[in-house]
Amino acid sequence: MPKHLDYDEPVLRYHRIVAELAADIAPTGAVVADVGCGPGQLLGLLAGLRPDLHLVGIDGDGECLRRAGGRCPTAELLIDDIEHLHSIGRRVGRIDVITSSHSLEHLADPVGALQRWRALLSPTGRLVLAVPNSLQPLLLARALFRRPKANDGHYYIWDRATFENFCRLAGFRITATGLDYVPLVPVRVRRRVPAISAVEQALLGPLPQFSNSHIVVLEPIGPAPIGGPTVGEVRAEPGPGTDRYDCSSA
């Protein structure tokens, strides 16, 4: 198992916010795809909030998909390279909402990934994203004490202003935002002392710039950016080893 993966990770605050935002904007019977679904926290929440949705979970890790199937048995699960999404256009067609929680920072080309995801959206489709904030107090404390350490598998991290620039570069405008909590202690401490979570959420009022995550709803701006793929190109791209994941055989 890659070190950054936690197959037993519980539902976190940013999962709930992304699920609520996606549930609010998805039309009746919409196709909602969670890219980098992990062990299915977001899929399970969406199934509870909007039973009418056609949910699709995509991840490159088979064990994650097996556990996602346990959390959300009604979801269609695909094992795929989430940066390129070789198969989902052929399998599902147009997507009304794409969600992704703390996955973009793991990709070598996140701008290119968003442009490829955009090509799969319906004409009124939206993205709902959560990514880590570079101004998290824990990261700043590590830097202060000269102990900076990026999470395993993370290649990018953004402060608020650079994340807004990143979204525009990829061809999107931000239409809604959310905040989760101001992290003061490592996850293992928070799990042992649940009362800390209330303090971390209360700090969002005076200190929103230190939120753990940037959470946004994005809509495409104008035509696809020059050099971005067309829908046909995304659907036609070959993906060796890409297939639907059958939880019953895992």
Domains of the chain: 13-224 (3.40.50.150)
Residue 230: which pLDDT band, with cuts at 50, 70 and 90? very low
Q: Cβ–Cβ contacts within 10 Å for residue 25, how many?
A: 18
Residue 188: which pLDDT band, with cuts at 50, 70 and 90? confident
CB 192 within 8 A of CB 143: no
Give the residue among 32, 45, 36 at the shortest CA–CA distance from 64: 36
Entry pTM: 0.86
Residue scoring higher pLDDT (58 or 190): 58
| Gap between the Cα atoms of 65 and 245, Å rounded | 7
Among 69-78, 190-199, 238-247, the least confident range? 238-247
Look-up of token digits 């899929």 = 43
| Gap between the Cα atoms of 62 and 107, Å rounded | 18
| Gap between the Cα atoms of 118 and 104, Å rounded | 14
| Gap between the Cα atoms of 250 and 246, Å rounded | 7
Among 5-9, 132-136, 151-155, the least confident range? 151-155
Q: What is the model's pLDDT at position 165?
A: 96
